[in-house]
Chains A and B, each alone.
Chain A
Amino acid sequence: MAEVRRVRNGPFGYLLRAFVIVYLVLLVAWPLLLVVTHTFAHGTESLQALFADPDLVAALRLTALAAVVATVINTVFGVGISLLLVRCEFPGKRLLSAFVDLPLAVSPIVVGLALVLVYGGRDGWFGPTLESWGFQVVFATPGIIMATAFVSLPLVIREVEPVLREVGTEQEQAAWSLGASGWQAFWRVTLPAIKWAMIYGVVLTLARSIGEFGAVKVVSGNVLGETRTATLAVEEKYLNFDQDGAYAVAFLLASVSVLCILVVFVLRARSARRFSAEGQ
């Protein structure tokens, strides 16, 4: 257990602290604050105007849909992959564990390109066949969901896997010895043990999904009211000299992501307190 150690703060310590504060204020805090003041420069007018615009409401709805579906998919697969990586032995396991981090290292534009090359309706590998069955992926909602799921794929795994490793298998074995089946042990023992990690993962996935821009831009086609997401709307409004509108949507999206971080922050602080209580 890492004990809190107070550093005798020499002049160097104070200098370092000052540097860090100034750096973070200039890079993140101040610009973020300016977006808030820009948004409310004319009161709540620009925010209200947003909800009167049916195209924008459709864009927000699409963003929410894609984010929720991608998060559900990534949660189920994330927990599944984590269980496989921690509990099972199979050939290619190390490769899989290296590959699951890949989406973090690939440019969103490349993600979009990759999906178009396989699922593009005109000359993708599978696209024409799928379209002949009446299932359009690229330039439609499924493509947006796939792009969103791709970029946020590792987040649940990165949170859940280490916790699963740490929890070990003893509690599950105890449940089995008391008569619980594999499923019962999973629902009653394993899932509660990884609950908080899973929730962090879900919240981070949600934040990342809502904000995805590059990959979605490539696969969406940006059709007003149909395949335009909220992040695409920010770009478009700004480029069309609707700065107030752009700042208002940006404010909305930023609030959601800051809220997500806050949730994770509070949960983490909570579990950290709990953990240190356990250590005594």
Chain B
Amino acid sequence: MSIEVSGVNKRYGDFVALENINLSIPTGGLTALLGPSGGGKTTLLRVIAGLETADSGSILIEGTDATRLAVQKRNVGFVFQHYAAFKHMSVARNVAFGLEIRKRPKGEIQARVEELLELVHLSQFAHRLPSQLSGGQRQRMALARALAVEPTVLLLDEPFGALDAKVRKELRDWLRRLHEEVHVTTVFVTHDQEEALEVADEIVVINEGRVEQVGTPDQLYDAPANDFVMGFLGSVTTLDGQLVRPHDIEVSLAPAGPDSIEGTVSRVQRIGFEVRLTVLTDDGEVVTVELTRPHARRLALEQGRVVFLSALFEPAKPVLVAGA
């Protein structure tokens, strides 16, 4: 295991930021710390980096006890949410910074900087100032700067948070590919479940200072440990008092079995390739159902139509996954 977090607590005055965090992050993986803002995920990342000290507990990085190690000695690459570009230095000087601090020979620094700028597609911007770059380019520069020192682990704080939707999507794919190329243990913080599901090998869900669940994207989506994880990853609705995914509800025009629930369609919305129904059941429950357009057309669904609903799968039971 590359990073071992054990028994970490951190509070700010009365506010508990982290409560007894135990976590193992595998070497070479791409792990997301996912959760709502204010939930403690950024604090955990900063504790791992050494930018904050935990009140208690320990941090091991590649087998070395880093708990008391200053940030300078941990050899981590940290990418800040707002990039923290050194505004007065050119792109190349920014990337060279860590190597200059380590007093590497000039020739080596130059070669390494060129190689990295190539990797992040910024070669032609080497002599620009950060202020002359776009947000996405600045982010890639920050990434190259962090990678230059050949860090043991790469830590990214909301790496795409400040970018617009399109650039965000591009950078996500790019980070995924970059990770396949460089293969450094990577941990990133995000509040965007779609981003975590798409990019990460493993997701750690953090809420109110606690780890809610650890697992692969599939495990988290299909077998959420609790209602919070289920609600946070993907959309949910209630059917017969239980949480279900809206696309896991079968809609039919006649009762499909003893458990079918009768209701009236109160609204039909077409969103791209899918159709979203709002159904008012006889018990007074408002249920959201998602189905494909051909399916909806086959049933000739429209407002006021009586339908029967049943869950496709048994409603999710809390399942504890290894590592949590």
A and B touch in the complex (CB under 8 A): yes
Hey, which bits of chain A sit against chain B, CB under 8 A? Answer: 170-171, 173-181, 184, 188-189, 192-193, 195, 274, 277-278
Nearest residue in A to B97 (C-beta to C-beta)? A178
Q: Is there an interface contact between B80 and A170, defined as CB atoms closer than 8 Å? A: yes
Hey, which chain A residues are within 8 Å of B86, CB to CB? 171, 174-175, 188-189, 192
Question: What are 25 inter-chain pairs, A to B, with CB distance below 8 A?
Answer: A170-B80, A171-B84, A171-B85, A171-B86, A171-B87, A173-B78, A173-B80, A174-B80, A174-B84, A174-B86, A175-B97, A176-B51, A176-B72, A177-B50, A177-B71, A177-B76, A177-B77, A178-B98, A178-B145, A178-B149, A179-B75, A180-B72, A180-B97, A188-B86, A192-B86
A193 to B71, Cβ gap below 8 A? no
Question: A59 to B73, alpha carbons, bound, how many Å?
Answer: 55
B131 and A173: CB pair below 8 A?
A: no
Per-position 1/0 for B99-111, Cβ under 8 A of A: 0011000000000
The answer on a CB contact under 8 Å between A176 and B71 is yes
**Inter-chain contact B78/A177, CB cutoff 8 Å:** yes
Task: Report the number of A-B residue pairs with Cβ-Cβ less than 8 Å.
Answer: 67
Q: Shortest distance in angstroms between A216's beta carbon and chain B's nearest beta carbon?
A: 38
Decide: B101 and A184 in contact? CB cutoff 8 A.
yes
- Chain B residues, Cβ within 8 Å of A173: 51, 71, 78, 80, 84
Residues 60-86 of B, flagged 1 when their CB comes within 8 A of A and 0 if not, give 000000000011110111101010111
The residues of B with any CB-CB pair to A shorter than 8 Å are 49-51, 70-73, 75-78, 80, 82, 84-89, 97-98, 101-102, 131-132, 142, 145-146, 148-149
Top 7 nearest A-B pairs (CB, nearest first) are: A178-B98, A170-B84, A174-B84, A177-B78, A278-B131, A192-B88, A179-B101
- State in angstroms the CA–CA spacing of A188 and B99 once bound together: 13
User: Smallest CB-CB separation from A176: which chain B residue?
Assistant: B71
Extra A-B contacts (16), CB below 8 Å, given A188-B86, A192-B86: A170-B80, A170-B82, A170-B84, A171-B85, A173-B80, A175-B86, A175-B97, A175-B101, A178-B101, A178-B148, A178-B149, A179-B75, A184-B101, A192-B89, A195-B88, A278-B131
CB–CB A188/B97 < 8 A = yes
List chain A residues, Cβ under 8 A from B73.
179
Q: Which B residues are in CB contact (< 8 Å) with A176?
A: 51, 70-72
Closest to B155 in A: A177
Flag if B98 contacts A179 (CB, 8 Å): yes
State whether A179 touches B131 (Cβ < 8 A). no
